[in-house]
Amino acid sequence: MQRPIHKVSVTPHFDRSFVKLPHPIQELADSKDRWFRFNAFDSRLKTHALKGKLKGLWSYSVNYDYRVLFEFLTPTEVLYHDIGTHDVYR
């Protein structure tokens, strides 16, 4: 089942983390964002709910090393909190 996202907002922390990424990762993240907006649960993104202290947040993969940490505000609106390596889970 396709689940499109109509609105993506970002935190200032996400913006700061994004600009620190290597340029090729920024480009790949932009590409994955387009996939995510078309279908948040596209299997290529490996979207999953987080547990423990991050319960209520979700993550999807940019590549093997990088993730986007986000939360659903509504079924079609999300807030990006962070982007980076697995350190975003800490």
How far, in Å, CA of 88 to CA of 29, rounded? 15
Domains delineated in the chain: 7-89 (3.30.2310.20)
Give the tokens for residue 50: 């987080």
| Gap between the Cα atoms of 66 and 24, Å rounded | 12
Question: Are the C-beta atoms of 65 and 83 separated by less than 8 Å?
Answer: no
The SS3 call for residue 32 is: helix
By percentage, how much of the chain surpasses pLDDT 70? 100
CA distance 7 to 47: 17
Q: Which pLDDT score is estimated for 73?
A: 98
Q: What is the pLDDT of residue 90?
A: 78
pTM: 0.94
